[in-house]
């Protein structure tokens, strides 16, 4: 009937750590195919606005179809670059999810745009689907060098979640051990 979306717990963790609440303005910046956006929308209970963005047109079409199929009534699906969004949504969003792929340089651009769009005191959750330290601990450390107004918040780690490894990056940021690594052999 199209009323559920199957995800692994590891794929659901970033949206859980976003801690979206009803009435907020949320941005899922790299949203296709829409599983995390649907999960965030569920937390919002139909109140507020979730902007689901996907830069690739074909993936944005799939995202739009999934958001519609899931019956999310408070979503806006966009097909824009992070730069164009940041030009129009300065300090607009309460919370932003960046579930980034590709390379560390591209992730840096996306994170910088997200920082411009986040309201002061807001929450930014960054996740990747790679084990590469340069795209994880390295990206976070470089981001915090560029944006000292941000800091890493300690969060509860569930069974099988491991801390980030500061030694795996050249200039580790303070608090990097509060980040989370998910290893298949540690999770059920």
Cis peptide bond upstream of 33, omega within 30: yes
Q: Write the DSSP string, 56-102.
A: SHHHHHHHHHHHHHTT-SSEEEE---HHHHHHH-TT-EEEEEEEE-S
Q: Is 121 left (phi over 0), alpha (psi -120 to 50) or beta?
A: left
CA geometry: angle 73, 74, 76, nearest 5 deg: 105
Q: Angle CA(88)–CA(114)–CA(96) in degrees, nearest 5?
A: 105
SS3 label, residue 168: helix
Q: Is 30 a catalytic residue?
A: no
Report the alpha-carbon distance of residue 118 to residue 109 in Å, rounded. Answer: 15
The residue from 25, 52, 73, 129 that is catalytic is 129
CA distance 32 to 70: 14
Tokens 């084990």 sit on residue = 131
Catalytic residues: 129
């Amino acid at each position: 009937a199209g009323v559920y979306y199957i995800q692994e717990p590891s794929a659901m963790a970033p949206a859980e750590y976003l801690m979206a609440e009803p009435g907020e303005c949320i941005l899922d910046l790299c949203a296709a195919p829409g599983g995390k956006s649907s999960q965030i929308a569920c937390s919002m209970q139909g109140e507020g606005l979730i902007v689901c963005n996907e830069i690739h047109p074909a993936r944005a079409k799939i995202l739009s179809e999934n958001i519609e199929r899931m019956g999310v009534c408070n979503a806006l699906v966009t097909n824009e670059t992070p730069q164009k969004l940041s030009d129009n949504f300065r300090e607009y969003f309460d919370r932003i999810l960046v579930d980034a792929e590709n390379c560390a340089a591209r992730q840096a651009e996306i994170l910088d745009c997200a920082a411009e769009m986040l309201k002061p005191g807001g929450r930014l959750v960054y996740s990747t689907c790679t084990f590469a330290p340069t795209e994880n601990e390295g990206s976070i450390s470089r981001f915090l060098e560029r944006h000292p107004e941000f800091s890493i918040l300690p969060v509860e780690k569930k069974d099988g979640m491991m801390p980030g490894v500061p030694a795996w990056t050249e200039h580790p940021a303070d608090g990097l051990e509060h980040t989370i690594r998910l290893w298949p052999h540690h999770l059920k």
